[in-house]
Amino acid sequence: MEFGQFCPIAKATEILGEKWTILILRELLMGSSRFNQLQRGLSQISPAVLTKRLNSLVDYGLVFKTKLAGQKGYEYLPTPSAKELLPIFIDLGNWGMRWTRSHLTDLDYDVEFLMLYLQRSIKPENLPGRTTTVRFNFTDFEAQPSWWIVVSGEQVDVCVLDPGKEVDVYFTSTVKCLSDIWMGETTYRKEINGGNLKLAGNRTLTKNVSSWLNQCMFAKAAP
């Protein structure tokens, strides 16, 4: 995709404007570095397209690709030029919160994406004990209704199979309900009072969810 203009916006768009490219960079800047991690954050991208976009970003100098020592596969790391995009992406996200939320459809509420970002939003330092297990039951997702987040020290893992640990907190809601809470469009209290969210378990944790589970970084952007 070439525009044939010396305008820096045009040249930047030639690099960033292809479908998925900005979202791949978003995932890299949020900490993903393996191919399968990138696929988790971009559930609808094909492996072929992801490979093509990553190779293009390597060629443009936005991504550094390195072989994993003693393992199969590669690690993908953002270069300084990619890291300079972070404040631009934050501004873009704030703009999106203000002007695009009314265009969301049911197809936009992706449970894998939600769980990935809930995993990244956990604050282990504010959880008591060495291990905390949180179970999520989504009433509108029949294919995989139950998910778990297990926090052991600083390590936070998402499980789709029962990890066999005692559950400390239970969430029961739709994917949309919990997504809207995480995005800051509603609150735990409002959804509990409205019967849209059931929260059970350790009272210390259920009464202070916001202390150990952060909202989206764009949650305070007024629509």
For residue range 161-209, list pLDDT tens digits in order: 999 999 999 999 999 999 999 999 999 999 999 999 999 999 999 999 9
- The domains of the chain are located at 8-84, 106-212
The residue ranges of DSSP E strands in the chain, in sequence order, are 63-67, 74-78, 131-138, 146-152, 155-159, 169-173, 198-201
* Residue 101: band (very low, low, confident or very high) from pLDDT cuts 50, 70, 90: confident
- Check residue 70 and give left, alpha or beta (phi > 0: left; psi -120 to 50: alpha): left
% of the chain at pLDDT higher than 90: 86
CATH class of residue range 8-84 = mainly alpha
Cut 0.85: pTM above it: yes
Sign of the dihedral through C-alpha 46, 18, 29, 221: negative
Write down the mean pLDDT value for the chain.
Answer: 94
Contact 170, 198 (CB under 8 A): yes
pLDDT value at 133 more than 80: yes
Domains 8-84 and 106-212 belong to one CATH topology: no
What phi and psi values does residue 65 have, to the nearest 5 degrees?
A: -105, 125
At residue 11, the pLDDT reads 93
CA of 39: how far to CAs of 27, 31, 112, in Å?
Answer: 9, 13, 10
Lookup: tokens for 138: 């989504």
Rounded distance between C-alpha atoms, residue 99 and residue 90, angstroms: 14
Rounded distance between C-alpha atoms, residue 25 and residue 62, angstroms: 9
CATH class of residue range 106-212 = alpha beta
pLDDT value at 210 more than 90: yes
Check residue 154 and report its DSSP letter. T
For residue range 37-96, list pLDDT tens digits in order: 999 999 899 999 999 999 999 999 999 999 988 888 899 999 999 999 999 999 999 999
